[in-house]
Structure 1
């Protein structure tokens, strides 16, 4: 039965169905959401717990440990790490990719409720949770500055006016505010004033808590109506608090302002942010999963003029960085690449056919297949992103193949004298099975990708689906629309006339004659050809080992992130000077267009006294000579000369897979139950890492030199005075812990009232002796009477990984060094350096890279196996699929050689290129072997005669399809445009593999076919 006959006999039906596909695809294209990459959501939850005044060790043992123990029982938890700083613990939980983030959040909340009774009673608030996605960085940065306004006013507009308005825009997930200067009333007490009036700091704290309250008071009811009872019991300004009476002395009131300074201030005066050297509040906007990034940012930009109009005089709201612009540019560049590739393919087809009507028929399948694919992308909920469009660019090279094969076979019959209707019927019937085999076997390439888990499966699922859909549509079009158009449009006279007039045809015929002669020689010297093939196969295996391995290449999005580490114990004032010095040096770089600089906020948003952050906005690519990676290297050299500071800069990868924060890109985590051994091992390994060539910016999160004042409680003496250790800690907390003693509740939010000793009485160890405690007899006792003091050092931060004490070493790669080589060297070095009771493993991107290097070869092998099974089923033969797949090693050889020559890494993009080559290169084998089998069956030819005739007759479609695939991949291989550097390796691998496999397999496949035929004959005779 000839299915094509149905469509040849019904041209109107065929045209209408085709138009329906195109119209549906066109309108679906307009509705597709736009993003940089497919939605890859890593279910991650961050738990934050605060205990102001607690040291890192207390936070780790009293807060982090019990919470971690409870959280570890949650199903689907892949990793858990915590950072405990002074007063704050942050625990990051990363779940398996198939875990629903909302369900996981409920489990986390339940676990926190269960552990609450085991946490310190002094925690002002219960632990909070926040759902995050490490792969989803902010898409828009805004800076709010003001020349003549208090920062608290600027912050109020940012947090209570701008952020809520932006959060309501469709697609916005959250708006993070950096450099927040939230209003607070600060009470800075004078120890001498307290002592002179016989007051302890705790008594003042208790008095303030009772002075300002906001509690329900009830309803006064009567027979006819009721009244709400409202008491004016809350103080709301610094002046009101200052005038409040704390106590009476000899009948005279003691007001709070008599004991120190009461002023309007900010909740955290040890943190600040600048944009281009001007104090600012920075807002970072993150999108919801699946949201149209470009549309969302456009909506925000439309709202900004209205927001700016409503700002107070002197305030200025400006866009610092717009990632949607890069995404839009990148998408436009890929769309141009798609169009350019299509034009190149059209040119190649016209060169070979040299006939306008024939070229039109072949080329028509291209827009139909591509546009119709958009419709199915919309149905399946896919995005219009770089990977899906890149898949379509590559698809341009082979969606036309089926149409070319059908068209060429029909043209061959027309040229032999058959009328076009009969030629269309006969030609389509002859080639129908070949087209089905080519289509199904090419789709089979992507079946393993659909079932692959992890980051690679998530990242390339849409890519594989889009290509598979385009291939299926092209197969259908080639068996329906193409034969129908051939039966109406092809002319015998024009074919013969134009072929005779074509210069390209004469050159092609000369090449064909040369190929036929060289093929005969190869068939007569089969052993020599097979030996050469075996040598190339061995070299290919060697190439797999020596080609540099990478993971996800960095992408020049015009943004660079940085971290500044100052010496432990540095004062806020001194650190601000150092940070501003670094920002000023960076701002002078000609490639830098703007700098966001923050102090007092470390990795993951945790407050850190010695850590600052940097966000560098680079000039557009056309306005700078250096790539973002080169800018990083240049700036790194400029700032590393500053004494006492460590500056780390990274150009962010296209996607980040790890949830653990560090100053450099790649992480190696050490764990042990013995803290002292762990410290020594980490220091030893960090020193050893410096000996590895290609490793730079080595950093450790081990910080043990934070100055501490250790107080030893004289328990007997304290007990005799009726003073408990809890009394001592509470007094110190009130004096130096930034204690929140009250809240000011307003319609726009709650504001803190913060109590502390005046900073001018916090300069030396002697100042602490001025703190007094009240004994059981009511007398004031100086703190020095019940404690002894000793200066020392302690940890600035304590980290846990998987509930065990952990130290993370992080590093970057020097230009020209591959991640695969470095990870192998680090693993070997760790085995030779670490003792038995210390374990070491990679985390984050380095860990995902190692996992991918294990799974990708399995993916390649499973792809080959699936294709073999599909071909075996189609041909009902065990040997023919092996013959068809003989091109694969040579495609791999060409791809790996191209990567080496052009200094590219074998990363996940180029590896996907290898997998695509499995489908592309086996097409030639199908065209040759299928025709040879048919020739032996119909003409009773020998195997040698059949394969020689098949190669000769099918030489034109083989060359056409391969050249189409090559020129379609060339624009990607050139790596032009925004984001082109990320996808370049894939294009180079595909082009290199196709070129080399085309040259070799035209000879190896026929020779291998003969060898397999002889083997089959011998096996048959032996039976």
Structure 2
């Protein structure tokens, strides 16, 4: 301003000079014999030197150029935002999947393009992927899939320990894959996908789909032990438990299906879970009333042909039944105490319900910590950047943090820490966040808050 005033130049003169001499003009073309050539006048300015030589004011032979009144440099058109990657200046780009897109497919497509983009960059530019939310989704899906296998193995082991015969276990065992195949068909028919909620429903359904088959095969097995042939036992046993199996199947389906009709975020999230679980129960009931009796008539042996392990289990369950009978007789003889205990439990339910904490979804270790900053109303970008620079120094000695990123604007300041893989760190996301928040509290001049990435949409703050 001082130099402009000394040379008699105003801001309007500078603006007018830029408009006057920096423009794009179509100079036309020149034609000759059978030849036409377009003329490129290049009337716009391309370099810093071009703008520095721009004449702002002229009085006679005296010229005032732009370099006399201003410092010219190549810079961003908008300097009201800044981005940093692990403390280094960067250009921030966020890629969000469309509402109906699969985030895993979007991430795979992006990762496939990264090598091509890196190959096209200048040597002094580096492309970094500071945060990929699909990593946590993929890990969660893999964990649920392994849990699905583990649950099936546990169910098989428990059935064998109670029934004592691999032949008997084979009947409910076949129910598990057939029910899951039927459920997958229903999931596709209803337009769902194999996501966290549908896979979780299948994990829970493993314990439910074998219930109907166990009821059928146990009743058939009882008739075999009483001396009936496997075929007679299958026919008689299936007829006896047909209505209870139908009632149990419809009851379970009726419990889960209404969740799909809940409105709002809860209904949107858990409708797939509820319908998948209800569909698994219906499919298992159908299998229990059709395939289970047929298999029981083929795979069960007569009572005299069962193994020693089955005989040993029968003795143990006989002894357990005797002890249970004595305990039940004791309870029935003291009905007052039993009713008082039941009344106390019933009365405590409202109190326990009010004392329990409520949340949409528990916080999980998703591999990242976000933070936001609130600056004073008078703060500019230099003020905000001065204090947010200190955030990078806070995590340098934290081995669980791989990198960080920041986006700074006058109206909003936010960033995040990307943690190393779960197998490469000893502390959880919540423990890292607690230490990071303590350090954020030591930064003066701004209010900084950290929070974990939400497990479900709308489940977390920020």
* TM-score exceeds 0.5: yes
1:474 to 284, 303, 321: 284
2:47 to 232, 237, 249: 237
| Equivalent position of 2:230 in the other structure | 420
2-structure distance, mates of 1:279, 1:446: 52
State the secondary structure of the residue aligned to 1:320. Answer: coil
Give the 5 Å matches for 1:977-1016.
Answer: none
Task: Quote the offset at 1:567 in angstroms.
Answer: 4.8
State the secondary structure of the residue aligned to 2:95. Answer: strand
2:202, 2:280 within 8 Å by CA — same for their partners in 1? yes
2-structure distance, mates of 1:593, 1:267: 32
Structure 1 residue 438 corresponds to structure 2 residue 248 = yes
Task: Quote the offset at 1:497 in angstroms.
Answer: 4.3
State the secondary structure of the residue aligned to 2:348. Answer: helix
2-structure distance, mates of 1:324, 1:496: 52
Structure 1 residue 342 corresponds to structure 2 residue 138 = no
Q: Cα distance 1:218–1:375, how it changes in 2: closer, same or farther (>3 A)? A: farther
Q: Cα distance 1:215–1:423, how it changes in 2: closer, same or farther (>3 A)? A: farther
Task: Quote the offset at 1:242 in angstroms.
Answer: 3.0
Deviation string, structure 1 residues 186-245 (Cα, Å, up to 9, x no partner) = xxxxx3444345443124323423433448899999xx9999897654334333333333
| Equivalent position of 1:780 in the other structure | none
Task: Quote the offset at 1:613 in angstroms.
Answer: 3.0
Deviation string, structure 1 residues 314-346 (Cα, Å, up to 9, x no partner) = 332233333333222221111111111111110
2-structure distance, mates of 1:225, 1:452: 75
| Equivalent position of 2:190 in the other structure | 380
Higher share of residues assigned strand? 1
Structure 1 residue 627 corresponds to structure 2 residue 436 = no
Q: Which structure ranks higher in relative contact order (CA pairs < 8 Å, sequence separation ≥ 6)?
A: 1
2:367 to 536, 558, 561: 558
2-structure distance, mates of 1:369, 1:587: 51
| Equivalent position of 2:317 in the other structure | 508
| Equivalent position of 1:641 in the other structure | 442
Task: Quote the offset at 1:347 in angstroms.
Answer: 0.7
1:593, 1:618 within 8 Å by CA — same for their partners in 2? yes
| Equivalent position of 1:665 in the other structure | 461
2:163, 2:310 within 8 Å by CA — same for their partners in 1? no
Structure 1 residue 585 corresponds to structure 2 residue 394 = yes
2-structure distance, mates of 1:426, 1:592: 65
Give the 5 Å matches for 1:51-90.
Answer: none
CA RMSD of aligned residues (A): 3.1
Task: Quote the offset at 1:455 in angstroms.
Answer: 0.9
Structure 1 residue 492 corresponds to structure 2 residue 302 = yes
Q: Cα distance 1:450–1:575, how it changes in 2: closer, same or farther (>3 A)? A: closer
1-structure distance, mates of 2:458, 2:349: 31
Q: Cα distance 1:400–1:250, how it changes in 2: closer, same or farther (>3 A)? A: same
State the secondary structure of the residue aligned to 1:587. Answer: coil
Give the 5 Å matches for 1:527-566.
Answer: 528-566=337-375
Task: Quote the offset at 1:438 in angstroms.
Answer: 0.7
TM-score (norm 1): 0.42
| Equivalent position of 1:615 in the other structure | 416
Structure 1 residue 305 corresponds to structure 2 residue 115 = yes
| Equivalent position of 2:135 in the other structure | 325
**Gap runs ≥5 in structure 2:** none
2-structure distance, mates of 1:500, 1:586: 61
Task: Quote the offset at 1:462 in angstroms.
Answer: 0.8
Task: Quote the offset at 1:365 in angstroms.
Answer: 0.2
1:415, 1:496 within 8 Å by CA — same for their partners in 2? no
Q: Cα distance 1:273–1:313, how it changes in 2: closer, same or farther (>3 A)? A: same
2:165, 2:307 within 8 Å by CA — same for their partners in 1? no
1-structure distance, mates of 2:19, 2:328: 96
Structure 1 residue 655 corresponds to structure 2 residue 461 = no
Q: Cα distance 1:352–1:500, how it changes in 2: closer, same or farther (>3 A)? A: closer
2-structure distance, mates of 1:500, 1:568: 78
Task: Quote the offset at 1:306 in angstroms.
Answer: 2.3
| Equivalent position of 1:722 in the other structure | none
Task: Quote the offset at 1:405 in angstroms.
Answer: 0.6
2-structure distance, mates of 1:371, 1:637: 50
